[in-house]
Amino acid sequence: MALHFSPAEFERRKQAALAAMARENLDALFLFQQESMFWLTGYDTFGFCFFQCLVLKADGRMALLTRSADYRQAQRTSTLEDIRVWKDSATANPALDLRAMAADLGLAGRRIGAEFESYGLVHSNGRKLEAAFDGFATLVDASTILTRLRAVKSAEEIAYVLEAARLSDAADKAAIDHLGPGADEGVILAAQHAAIFAAGGDYPANEFIIGSGGDALLCRYKSGRRRLDANDQITLEFAGTSRHYHAAIMRTHIVGAPKPLHRRYHEAAEEALHACQAAMKPGNPAGEVFAAHARTLDSHGLSAHRLNACGYSLGAKFTPSWMDWPMFFENNPWTLEPGMVMFAHMILMDSASETAMCLGRTYLIEENGARPINAPDLSLVIR
């Protein structure tokens, strides 16, 4: 078995989930988020791109419905014992298989919470799910129940987070070591991944961002590589990953002579990042962190160049994104708690001058505030 947590840890999580279900008067949970399945049982797969569902009953019983390709995956990576398979065919409707499993589990006529907000439950399957359970049981949206539980990390989880942070710093150094006029973006990207994999890390939940020249203003990965000019800028966003737990860094580096705007924007971004850190206190709403970001950058006259969000929670995430909840956006009431792992990014994109400046790192929320766990040196890198 490839389990990464102790039996006591898995039991703690299950009891927390059952308590949350009881508060919502739920007889069962239908879990479609891969993150929920991993958190609750250790089940580790990318097979969630197909229909699969983990059922958690109020009495603690669990059962997984999946495809044959993931049967042994579930056996070897999870605590699950009841693993059932729906058969691939031209006429397959796994929602009906789930209803049959639910009937076997005594869930007819019951109130069942479902994770409708899930990459693994595409709209067509969601419609089949609702049709299959119409008149059989009551389905209610329970998408945030485990998301909220996962947001606060245990000591066992934080150990993987700190390892991810170490890996992110190794990737940061690898990129900087390869910077210079004529440097190939592909070589830089390969060096970052090599540093992580060689040290025992995992694939991240989404692609690394890498863009130079005008593409340094992009906030997403795109295909295609270029070599850096004698005077250039390159934006990198990446994460160290350990057992699917992430710690991210975002930076814009300069090759050759920086523009005056690069220095001005970096100074503002660093000031804003420190303001966000000061706002990341237990009991504060997530929206207060965004307010610190906006207030600082706006005071520098940069409101037109900033984004409408400035970070999010990190944890054990699966493709297509390592972003988790809560996020830092305007008036988000989600309260910060000790044990949360938060990534704050200050992103400035000036399209008129094609000037980029990004600065971000990961924090662990502790009793007295936020502690940065990677990117200790925030200085502007010039090569």
Quick one: tokens of 94? 């796994």
- Distance (Å, whole) CA 243 – CA 44: 10
pLDDT one-digit tens code per residue, 143-154: 999 999 999 999
| pLDDT of 120 strictly over 90 | no
Quick one: tokens of 138? 């009551």
Give the DSSP H or E segment for 85: strand 83-85
pLDDT one-digit tens code per residue, 19-36: 999 999 999 999 999 999
Burial 98-115 (b: 16+ CB within 10 A, else e): bbebbeebebeebbbbbb
- Distance (Å, whole) CA 24 – CA 60: 15
Decide: 317 and 279 in contact? Cβ < 8 Å: no
* Closest C-alpha among 71, 66, 145, 60 to residue 101: 66
* Closest C-alpha among 2, 12, 35, 17 to residue 246: 35
The answer for residues whose C-beta is within 8 angstroms of residue 323's C-beta and 6 or more apart is 312, 313, 317
- Distance (Å, whole) CA 259 – CA 245: 36
The answer for residues whose C-beta is within 8 angstroms of residue 224's C-beta and 6 or more apart is none
| pLDDT of 99 strictly over 90 | yes
258-263 contact pairs (CB < 8 A, 24+): 258/380, 258/382, 259/353, 259/355, 261/350, 261/353, 261/355, 261/357, 262/233, 262/355, 262/357, 262/380, 263/380
Distances (CA, A) of 315 to 195, 249, 260, 263, 301: 20, 14, 37, 32, 34
**How confident is the model at residue 360, as a pLDDT?**
98
**How confident is the model at residue 2, as a pLDDT?**
83
Decide: 365 and 284 in contact? Cβ < 8 Å: no
- Distance (Å, whole) CA 239 – CA 28: 35
pLDDT averaged over the chain?
97
Q: Which amino acid is at 322?
A: W
| pLDDT of 227 strictly over 70 | yes
Instruction: Look at residue 238 and give its three-state secondary structure.
Output: strand
**How confident is the model at residue 270, as a pLDDT?**
98
| pLDDT of 1 strictly over 80 | no
What are the residue ranges of helices labelled H in 25-178?
Answer: 34-41, 71-77, 94-104, 123-133, 145-151, 155-177
Q: Which residues pair with 313 in a beta bridge?
A: 324, 342
Decide: 205 and 117 in contact? Cβ < 8 Å: no
Instruction: Look at residue 176 and give its three-state secondary structure.
Output: helix
> Average pLDDT in the 90-109 region?
98
The secondary structure of residue 282, as a DSSP letter, is T
Distances (CA, A) of 185 to 176, 202, 204, 243: 12, 21, 19, 27
**How confident is the model at residue 130, as a pLDDT?**
98
pLDDT one-digit tens code per residue, 35-83: 999 999 999 999 999 999 999 999 999 999 999 999 999 999 999 999 9
